[in-house]
Structure 1
Amino acid sequence: MSTSIETLRNIGIIAHIDAGKTTVTERMLYLSGAKHRVGRVDHGTTDTDDDPEEQERGITIFSACVKYNWNEFNVNLLDTPGHVDFTAEVERCLRVLDGAVVVFSAREGVEAQSETVWRQADRYHVPRIVFINKMDREGANFESVFNDIEPRLGGRPVAIEIPVGEGPTHVNDPFRGVIDLVELKLLQFDPETEGKEVTETDIPDDLMDDALLWREQLIEAVCEIDEEALGYVMEDQDVPIDVIRRALRQGCIERTLQPVLCGSALHGIGVQPLMTAVGHYLPSPLDRPPVEGVLPKKPEKTVSRGPSDDEPFSALVFKILPAKTGDNYWIRIYSGSLKQNSRVFCPNRDKKENIAQLWQIHASKKDRDGQTEVLGAGDICCVIGPRFAITGDTLCDGKEQVELPSIQFADTVISMAIEPENTGDRKKLEETLDMLRRQDPTFRAVENEELGQTLISGMGELHLEVIQHRLTRDFGLNVKFYKPRVNYRETIGGTADVVGQCNRQIGATQMFARLSVRVEPLPDASAKTIVFDRLPPECPLQGDVRHAAIQELRDRAEGGGALAGFPLSGLRIEAYDAEIHEEGSDETAFRIAAGDAFDRALETAGPVLLEPVMKVEVTTPDDYMGELVGDLQQRRAIIAATETRGAMTVITAHAPLKEMFGYSGAVRSLSQGRAGSSMEPLGYQAAPKEDAEQFRY
């Protein structure tokens, strides 16, 4: 049977790229005894970064799941990417997790992608604890990072550890341990055993004043949550350790605070207390509210499923890894239990699915020794057998159906045309692209039969580069690749009232229809287009004919715009009047009239080309700031802010994606390799007139 649900922790490691997520994961596996040697990212020997592309680049690209035991706790841990191009991996993991560890670099602090993953965790109401990593690095500053969390992320950090020293061994006061503020003890970690041996001693006098100052802030936060703790303080007594931990756990689960720890994962310093904090403060599935869904055939009716084996079975598919022996479906079981060789129902596809095998997951593969007969509520596992479900779909009991909320992924922002070198590779390319689509919800592939090319789309240059390498190296395809291009959208510049009509002879029938339509832009140009039926009750257009007219407007709104057929956004469309004849005013006539009205409205309101805009963050020494700002301005970027973080200056800018191809290389060149940059999608803005004109003519 499955692990005791009270001791189960489903957690994720989330952070900006290079903050040390994978190193933290590796150290946890080593210290827990789940592996006997610590893997190194720079050596390509980590368990979770087992893809050749990850090992070559030294970054995480695909989320990976590992399981370990620590004290009485059983942990399912998902290591996620930090690069914005692979943010879908973070999105799908946070959707199914109960808690998260947010890792910050003690030198770089709160970075652009740190803000993105924090917002994602907020959206899914995920409790979190914070680990300030790399305390042994030059320029490490615990207090600076701690003080950034509240203003930049809207968090409420509460330190439960502080560092002893900061920086590498050659500085005056190097990082050499941590002070546990809950138990008021000094913890030091033996380098000979790579952090396995921990020495606990009393805090020296020269460190006690600082420790008591930080502990006072901890006790203040605890008293805001727990009346018993406040009672001890009012009576001038020490607050017991179990009361402090209970209050911190409550605040963490309620997301009113985030316990903060620190250390150096590379050297094993502070990781054992972090693993203990995961058990103490992050929730079990029982601490999370029941998951809510709808009845598949009555979507207006909400139902809930609690984290109990006695409830009807429900689970969410959050990742699919295609395999020759049967696709591996990663699922989170929310309620009930799941048995091997059983049948379940997928309400999203209205299909029954087989569960042939159940496996525990290790990294991105099935655990060799992890096949099991049954798993219960709260667990994360791999199932083999389903054929119809896709990422975000629900699996449930066929007799007690429920459809859980799916996972929403961002739209792609960049495309590239590809075509096979020879016709013999065409079918294999189609099959491979279909497999990649099932694996990655943010990857798109659309075939253009006229040109013999396929347009692939993704979240950024790196995303498409990884796809390129997979097609050529992993699947051995001979493929031509063309220059990437941005994914534009279209909207309108103003409001228009038009009348669309159908007045034509078809056979012996004179068809007639008139439909009055108004279009206007929405305040947010990137918002989804909405269509309203504003035909008055006395309007003669009723029934199936009325439905056909409105549906035609909706179908056209989901298609392309008037300039070059790019997806439409930011429009409000409403039909408000109609005229019919006794004969010839049927569904076909009103579909034609609605289409005519749609085309007239877009042209009259003035089509506008929208280009994707990125939020760019550049971290640089002051010496190179002028060159970097000048380069950004040449790329049509708007400088939004500059701030000093330690010895570095951070430039935040908003720049069109079109101008940012190859930017990371330009930053390295302009700064002699000393500056770094990151980008994330910000929204859409009107493209320059010359860009729009090239599509018009």
Structure 2
Amino acid sequence: MKTLNLGILAHVDAGKTSLTERLLHTAGIIGELGSVDDGSTQTDTLALERARGITIKAAVVSFALGDVTVNLIDTPGHPDFIAEVERALGVLDGAVLVLSAVEGVQAQTRVLMRTLRRLGIPVLLFVNKLDRRGADPERVFQEITGKLTPTAVTMAPDRVIDLLATLDEDFLTGYLTAPDAFTPSRLRAELTAKVAEGRAHPVYFGSAITGAGIDALRDGIENLLPAKEADVHAPLSGTVFKVERAPGGEKIAYVRLFSGSVAVRDKVPLGDGEGKVTAISVFDNGSAVPSASAEAGRIAKLSGLDVRIGDVLGARPRTREARFSPPTLETVVSPLRPADRGPLHQALTRLTEQDPLIGLRHDEVRQETSVSLYGEVQKEVIQATLADEYGIDVTFSETTTICVERVDGTGSAVELIGTASNPFLATVGLRVEPGSGTSFRLEVELGSMPYSFIKAVEDAVKETLREGIHGWEVRDCAVTMTHSGYYARQSHAHGTFDKSMSSTAGDFRDLTPLVLMEALREAGTTVHEPLHRFTLQTPADTLGPVTALLARARAVPRTTLTKDGTAELEGEIPAAKTHEVHQLLPSATRGEGAMETSFHGYRPVRGPVPSRSRTDHNPLERKEYLLRVLRRV
């Protein structure tokens, strides 16, 4: 059985879900087309999706196309839900990127195409909404070749030949020598190979609403994208890309099976352990149906496994991971009813299972829980989900920007066992210095003390680095353990374990934050704010007001080009200021300015250094820390 796991991706409102409906209708899966506006589509099943007319959660539906079973994954288009798209990309064989014939290439379109090309995922492009007023397919095609990919090609024989000749010297030589040998089927085979390599990107035009161009797109999906005959006899290999909860609270894992097979009651390798599959559903003919087993190539829903998104079943597949920007906003979620504080934290913890990029920080002292976000729309989704699924009504504080800390230099500290100032039965010495990513290294012998003690130090280091000197996560930091020491297990005369004389993992876990913070204090840290790259188009005669607006927002234009009365600026802008510029841009440009932004990295904060309240036991203040950990100084 050949399968094709196909993603439908787009900027919000380009018509992605409408295209999904049309493909399902043409395949005979649904009798009549659903409407995004009416909230009656097959894949948008959440109440909030139907109410707002946007996709929030990735949805899977299956249909037959010739001798290929297509597992179609409809993904969100709104940038607030980019995490859903990120997880879907890792399980795709091919993708259709949808553009509007009216709006053309938009901000999210560029982000998605860059990622698809980097991952080597074969892509077809569908220019939708040809039936709308203002549709301009020629302009949009020029935008595609200029902003997305220079190897886009419309499906006209002469243009396909020109592209193949540009991409392949052997093809050019052969075609010039014997053009009659290149039959339509051979040209299709040549193009299919280039599409599979990610070097050619066919473009189709049509309308999901009227059905125009859909037959040609279906032909491209069936014949140009690489359907695969998976190896069902190989060892099991699968990836969890989505987790949801059944009405009874049981986890349901969406798994792309790359090889092997799995059956109900099978015990499957899962990380360092294993899990038992209690139920299986596979996607078939438009819906998920119960099955006794699932084979490679399929997307299956597995019950009974304690998993998180990104977990691997069996052998790790050879796939490349998408890397979208991290969330850069944070807000405090508060229940309207004080009695809901405990249930709220539990509910938010469950939501992080479905979206790991929603980070949680819980402050025991203030009894506050903060969540990280991509944008304001996510607030509405979280608020509606908590009310509908958990019966908890919440409010949000004002959204703030998430900064990070980076180490300035090298710092070290050590606490020795048995000294008056150290109440823990442990010796820990640490050195911190700038690094690429965050790492933990050993300068002590691995056998110098029990591994569980070393592991306790490593775990405590990772936990402590979540809140640095100023309360922000410390990034790009290399931590080296330089000293170690412990008291071996001691017993009383009658053989019972004596904690007061014996080191435990808890001693190392509790001492490490004090040592690490002292080393960080010596090394020094600098707070960095998130930075976005922007591209801004505006009438040339408004360049003055626009430049002044960018200056007030602490943006730094790098290039400015003016052509045919339009100025285009590119540069960097603090993430905290993008919303403000978006709001003020229309008044500065007579409503004609447009700005696209994407995450670009971090830069040192200029001016007052922002800090964030701590949620740990505050190892920066030794007395306070010991009071909280030991209830004594």
Query: Counterpart of 2:240?
Result: 317
Check the 8 A contact 1:65/1:362 in 2, yes or no: no
Shift of 1:78: 0.9
> Which residue identity lines up with residue 350 of structure 1 in the other structure?
G
Query: Counterpart of 1:258?
Result: 201
Aligned pair partner of 1:555 in 433, 438, 460: 460
TM-score (norm 2): 0.81
Q: Is the counterpart of residue 691 in structure 1 residue 609 in structure 2? A: yes
Shift of 1:11: 0.7
Shift of 1:362: 8.4
Matched residue SS, 1:691: coil
Instruction: For 1:242-391, list aligned pairs within 5 A.
Output: 242-286=185-229, 307-325=230-248, 326-339=250-263, 341-348=264-271, 350-360=273-283, 367=288, 370-383=289-302, 385-391=303-309
Matched residue SS, 2:386: helix
Shift of 1:41: 2.8
Check the 8 A contact 2:460/2:512 in 1, yes or no: no
Q: Is the counterpart of residue 533 in structure 1 residue 442 in structure 2? A: yes
Query: Counterpart of 2:162?
Result: 217
Matched residue SS, 1:116: helix
> Which residue identity lines up with residue 471 of structure 1 in the other structure?
L
C-alpha distance in structure 1 between counterparts of 2:426 and 2:83, whole Å: 49
> Which residue identity lines up with residue 566 of structure 1 in the other structure?
W
C-alpha distance in structure 1 between counterparts of 2:397 and 2:138, whole Å: 48
Query: Counterpart of 2:525?
Result: 607
Shift of 1:98: 0.6
* 1:627 to 1:65, Cα distance in 2 relative to 1, 3 A: farther
Q: Is the counterpart of residue 502 in structure 1 residue 432 in structure 2? A: no
> Which residue identity lines up with residue 313 of structure 1 in the other structure?
L
Structure 1: gaps spanning 5 or more residues: 162-180, 183-211, 287-306
Moved more, 323-332 or 588-597: 588-597
Check the 8 A contact 1:132/1:260 in 2, yes or no: yes
Shift of 1:278: 0.6
Query: Counterpart of 1:186?
Result: none
Shift of 1:283: 0.6
Check the 8 A contact 2:54/2:76 in 1, yes or no: yes
C-alpha distance in structure 2 between counterparts of 1:694 and 1:413, whole Å: 14
Shift of 1:652: 4.1
Matched residue SS, 2:266: strand
Q: Deviations over 1:355-378 (max 9, x none)?
A: 323242788xx54xx333443221
* 1:614 to 1:502, Cα distance in 2 relative to 1, 3 A: same
Shift of 1:641: 4.4
Matched residue SS, 1:97: coil
Say how many residue pairs are matched: 599
Check the 8 A contact 1:225/1:251 in 2, yes or no: no
Shift of 1:521: 3.0
Shift of 1:608: 0.9
* 1:232 to 1:638, Cα distance in 2 relative to 1, 3 A: closer
C-alpha distance in structure 2 between counterparts of 1:546 and 1:376, whole Å: 40
Query: Counterpart of 1:239?
Result: 182
Instruction: For 1:540-689, list aligned pairs within 5 A.
Output: 543-544=448-449, 552=457, 555-556=460-461, 558-560=463-465, 561-574=467-480, 598-618=516-536, 626-641=544-559, 651-661=569-579, 664-667=582-585, 677-689=595-607
Query: Counterpart of 1:22?
Result: 17
C-alpha distance in structure 1 between counterparts of 2:387 and 2:422, whole Å: 58
Query: Counterpart of 1:168?
Result: none
C-alpha distance in structure 2 between counterparts of 1:375 and 1:581, whole Å: 51
Shift of 1:327: 3.5
C-alpha distance in structure 2 between counterparts of 1:520 and 1:693, whole Å: 21
Check the 8 A contact 2:464/2:513 in 1, yes or no: no
Shift of 1:261: 2.2
C-alpha distance in structure 2 between counterparts of 1:648 and 1:579, whole Å: 65
Query: Counterpart of 2:497?
Result: none
Check the 8 A contact 2:282/2:301 in 1, yes or no: yes
Shift of 1:100: 0.8
> Which residue identity lines up with residue 605 of structure 1 in the other structure?
A
* 1:417 to 1:499, Cα distance in 2 relative to 1, 3 A: closer
Check the 8 A contact 2:405/2:475 in 1, yes or no: yes
> Which residue identity lines up with residue 151 of structure 2 in the other structure?
P
Shift of 1:53: 2.2
Check the 8 A contact 1:549/1:594 in 2, yes or no: no
Shift of 1:70: 3.2
Identity among equivalent pairs (%): 27
Shift of 1:566: 1.7
* 1:121 to 1:222, Cα distance in 2 relative to 1, 3 A: closer
Query: Counterpart of 1:290?
Result: none
> Which residue identity lines up with residue 162 of structure 2 in the other structure?
Q
Shift of 1:45: 3.1
C-alpha distance in structure 1 between counterparts of 2:509 and 2:351, whole Å: 37
Q: Is the counterpart of residue 466 in structure 1 residue 381 in structure 2? A: yes
Shift of 1:123: 4.5
Query: Counterpart of 2:496?
Result: none
C-alpha distance in structure 2 between counterparts of 1:218 and 1:627, whole Å: 43
C-alpha distance in structure 1 between counterparts of 2:510 and 2:344, whole Å: 38
Check the 8 A contact 2:68/2:227 in 1, yes or no: no
Shift of 1:669: 5.9
Aligned pair partner of 1:112 in 107, 111, 116: 107
* 1:579 to 1:552, Cα distance in 2 relative to 1, 3 A: closer
Aligned pair partner of 2:391 in 476, 481, 506: 476
Check the 8 A contact 1:12/1:80 in 2, yes or no: yes
Aligned pair partner of 2:363 in 435, 445, 448: 448
Q: Deviations over 1:336-361 (max 9, x none)?
A: 2333x332314226132223232427
Query: Counterpart of 1:36?
Result: 31
Check the 8 A contact 2:534/2:596 in 1, yes or no: yes
C-alpha distance in structure 1 between counterparts of 2:458 and 2:232, whole Å: 47
Matched residue SS, 2:61: strand
Matched residue SS, 2:608: helix
Query: Counterpart of 2:151?
Result: 157
Structure 2: gaps spanning 5 or more residues: 489-500, 614-619, 622-633
